[in-house]
């Protein structure tokens, strides 16, 4: 291992366990998970929220970042594919680098797929949180690079969809390149006599 340990003595991790209404609490003992989280190394705060992604839930994260001087945040809730951006913004608003946030997926990968075994689901949720906290201990702040965006657009295909997309973009003021494979735009729509539900001509 060539990397240096970023885990150090002054780590202060906060764990927020989401009930997601009954989506998680229905099959996972969230209180137990939060209590367990508190026993993990460097965790200085843990709690249960009804809906962590809601405004009150996010406020609680921000408040506790300040109150407990948290420098790592773990939210145990849904898939990061859904709310990772939400929580990254949330911790950033509280002054924490967004890359010091970590998510534990105890909904899609746990409560929903083990609906009828509360004990096993709770144990698995604890494990998932444990792994996330372990990862969080080694997170470090990252700076995102910012790139300029070219203000032109390419539309591939000059059928009804491509034509409309090109017109909308061009009317907004962007330069549009519309590429059509055939000798004329129009696509399949141009071959139709009338179109439903208006029964008028297609072109």
Partner 1 sequence: MMDVGRHPKIKLYSYSEIDNVSGYVGNFNVRIRKKARYVDENECTACDECAKVCPITVPNAFQMGLSLRKAIYMPFPQAVPSSYILDMEHCLGNNPIACGKCYDACDKKCIDYDMQDEIVDVKVGAVIVATGMDVYDPTRLDDYGYTRFENVITSMEFERLICSEGPTGGHFIRPTDHKTPKTIGFIQCVGSRTQDPERGNPYCSNICCMNTVKDSLLLKDHYPDVEVKVFYMDIRAFGKGFEDLFMRSKEKGVMYIRGIPGEIEEDPQTKNLRLMVENTTTRQIEEHELDMVVLSVGVIPRRDNEVVKKLFSLSTTSDGFLMESHPKLKPVDAPTGGVFFAGCAEFPKDVKDSVTQASAAAARAGVLLSAGKIKIEAITAVVDEEACKLCGICARVCPFNAIIFDKKSKTPAKVIEAACKGCGTCSAECPFDAITMQHFTDRQMYAQIEAILSDKPMDKIVTFACNWCSYAGADLAGLSRLQFPHNARIIRTMCSGRVKDKFVLHAFKHGAPVVLVSGCHFADCHYIDANRWTQKRVWKLWDKLEKLGIRPERLQLEWVSAAEGKKWAEVMNAVEEIRKTVTKEEVEHTIKVIREAEKPKKPKAKKEPAAATT
Answer yes or no whether residue 144 interacts with partner 1 by CB under 8 A.
yes
Name which of 5 and 95 has its Cβ closer to partner 1: 5
Phi-psi sector, 32: left (phi>0), alpha (psi -120 to 50), beta: alpha
Binding-site string for partner 1 from residue 152 to residue 171, where x marks contact by CB under 8 A and - marks none: xxxxxxxxxxxxxxxxxxxx
- CA 19/CA 117 separation, integer angstroms: 17
Answer yes or no whether residue 8 interacts with partner 1 by CB under 8 A.
no
Answer yes or no whether residue 54 interacts with partner 1 by CB under 8 A.
no
Count of residues that interact with partner 1, criterion CB under 8 A: 96
Place of tokens 């962007």: 174
- CA 126/CA 120 separation, integer angstroms: 10
Answer yes or no whether residue 120 interacts with partner 1 by CB under 8 A.
yes
Binding-site string for partner 1 from residue 168 to residue 187, where x marks contact by CB under 8 A and - marks none: xxxxxxxxxxxxxxxxxxxx
Residues 82-111, interacting with partner 1 (CB under 8 A): 82, 99, 105, 107-110
CB atoms within 10 A of CB 124: 19
Helix, strand or coil, per DSSP, at residue 1: coil
């Amino acid at each position: 291992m060539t990397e240096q340990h970023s885990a150090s003595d002054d780590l202060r991790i906060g764990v927020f366990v989401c009930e997601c209404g009954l989506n998680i609490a229905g099959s996972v003992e969230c209180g137990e998970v939060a209590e367990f989280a508190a026993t993990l190394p460097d965790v200085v705060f843990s709690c249960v929220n009804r809906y962590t992604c809601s405004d009150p839930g996010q406020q609680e994260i921000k408040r506790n970042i300040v109150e407990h001087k948290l420098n790592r945040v773990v939210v145990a809730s849904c898939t990061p594919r859904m709310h990772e951006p939400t929580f990254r913004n949330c911790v950033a608003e509280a002054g924490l680098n967004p890359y010091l946030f970590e998510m534990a997926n105890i909904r899609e990968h746990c409560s929903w797929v083990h609906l009828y075994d509360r004990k096993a689901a709770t144990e698995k949720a604890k494990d998932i949180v444990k792994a996330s906290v372990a990862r969080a201990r080694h997170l470090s702040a990252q700076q995102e690079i910012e790139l300029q965006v070219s203000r032109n657009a390419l539309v591939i295909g000059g059928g009804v969809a491509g034509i409309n997309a090109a017109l909308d973009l061009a009317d907004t003021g962007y330069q549009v390149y519309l590429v059509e494979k055939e000798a004329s735009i129009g696509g399949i729509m141009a071959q139709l006599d009338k179109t439903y539900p208006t029964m008028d001509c297609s072109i």
